[in-house]
Structure 1
Amino acid sequence: MVEALTEAGRYERALEWCQAGLDRITANDDSPQAAEYRHGLLIDRGFLRGELGIELDEDDLAAEAEANASFAQFREGLRDALSQGPSVDVPEDGEAFDGIVLRWVREDFTAVRARWLESTAHYGDDYDTYAERLQREARAYSEAGAARVRMVSATLAEFEAYTHRQGRDADAAETRRSFGEWYALTGHPERVLLWPPARNGPCWCDSGRKYKKCCGAPTKN
C-alpha cells in the first residue's frame, strides 16, 4: 500500500501507512525478518518525510546511512566482479548481435549444479546468487552493444532432449551455449523474455516479486 500511494503521489497518506506499519512491528515483532522490514519502512519514511519537507529523525538518518553504505559496498563488489567477468561473446566484425542468457528454471537448480560440478562457481550456492550472476551477464551484453538481450528460461529435460536429437556432447559448455541460441528461436515464447523487463512487471527469475524489487533493485545493478 505504501508503494502504491507513493507512486500515486499521495505522500501524506503513504506516510500514515508507513508509520502505522512501523508502530505495529515495533510493538509486536522482534524477529530478524521484522527488523529487515522495519529497515525498509524507515527508508520509505525518510523519503516521504523529505518529499513533504518534514525533518528526519535519528532512526530515519541511521537507516539512510546504512542503506548508502550497503549500496556503496555492493557497487564496489560489482565493479570488481565485472572487471573479472562475466565474459560475453561479441562479434568482432561490429555486426549487430543479440545477447542470449540461458537460465535454468528454479525447480532444476539443484539438479543442474549436480549435473555440471565444474560449473559450481558459475552457478553459486543458491538460486539468488545464480540470478545475480545472470543479471550481471545480461547487463554485460547490454553494455557491449547488443541490439537486444533475451533471457531464455529452460529446463534440464529440454536440454537433454536437445542433445539427444542433435547428437551433441551434453557435458560441453559449447553445447549449453548452442542450446540457449536454439531455444531463443524455437522455445516457448513465454519463456524467452526481453531483458530488462518493465520495472513494475514480474521479475524474470520467477521469484514472484516485481523486477524493481528483485533483480532490478538498485543494490543489484
Structure 2
Amino acid sequence: MSLKADLTTADLNEIRQTALGTADPLGVAADLGRAAENGGLADPQDAGLALSLAAEIAESRSKLDAAQRYADAAVSAYGDRDDSQSAAARALRARILFRNGRADEANEIVEPLRPLLTQQPDAAAYVTAALVVGGRARDAEKWLTEAVQEVVAERGVTEPADADDAGVLFFLLQQRHRLRHALGLQHDTHDNLAERLETRLANAGAQSAAAPAADLVFWPRAEFDRLVKQTDAYGATWDEHRARLEQELVRQTGAGRTGLAVLPGSVDALTAQAGIGGDPVSSDNRAAYARTLATGAARLPWPPERNGACWCGSGLKYKKCCLPRSRG
C-alpha cells in the first residue's frame, strides 16, 4: 500500500493504532521508511517517529532484520535529541537487539536509560519491555521498585489524593504491579497501592460528568473483527459498534460537550496495555487503555461534514453512513 504524501504527526499516531489491522502491515512499514528517507513527512523532525513505528511493525511480524534496520535509522534520525521519543527509540533498538541475540550491545544501550523511569515515563515502558525481552525481568522489577521509592521520597507522600496528583507514580506503580504479577511475586505495599489507585481512578472516571473515554474508543473494521472474537463489550457487530459510538457522541453533544472525537483503537496496543499475563479484554484493562488513548494525539474529530467522508473509514459520506445510526 502507499501512504499519503506529507504525513503529519497525527497521521503517524493514527497509523500506530491501525497499521497492524491492515492487509499488509509490512508494506505500511516500508512506506513509513521511505517517507522518512525521501521527505514524505510534513515535519522532518518526525523521521525518528516514523522509523520507530516501522521498526515496531516489522518486529511484530518477526521480521527482525528489517526491524533492526528501522530502529537503527530511527536512533540516527533523532540524533542528539533528549526527549521521551528519542529515549523510546533507543529502548526499542535495545529490545530488538535482544531479540536478535545481540545482548551485549543491547545492554550497553539500555543501562544508561535507567534514570528515565522517573524522568520520562512515556519511555519507561519501552525500557521495561527491553529488559523483559532480554531475560532481565527481575532487573526490570528492581528498577521499577527503586523508581517508585524515588518518586515517593521526592513527594513526601505515599498515596496521591486524586488522578491529577497520581501522575508518574501511578504509571510506575501500574507497570511494576503487572510485571510482579507476571513473575508470580506476592503482593507488597506498592502492589496494594497500585490496586487502590486503579480502583479509585476508575471510579472517578465513571462518576465524572465528562464522558468516559471508554465510550469513545473506536475499533476500525479490521481491528473490530479481531477483537469481537474475544469480547462483545464494544458491540456484537461492527454496525452495532458504530451505532453505539454515534449515539454516545450525540448524547454528549446534547449534554453540552464540544470538541468531541473518537479514539481509534488497536488490538495489539490493548494487549500490550494488559502487560505480561494480563487479560486484555477485562473491564479494568479496557478502561485503562481508553484513558491512554484519551491522552494521545490519535483522534478522529466528530462530527464530519454531512457530505464529507464518514469518521468510521467506510468510504461513504457521513450522511449516508453513521449519521443515521444516531437515530437507532
TM-score of the pair, normalised by structure 2: 0.33
TM-score of the pair, normalised by structure 1: 0.47
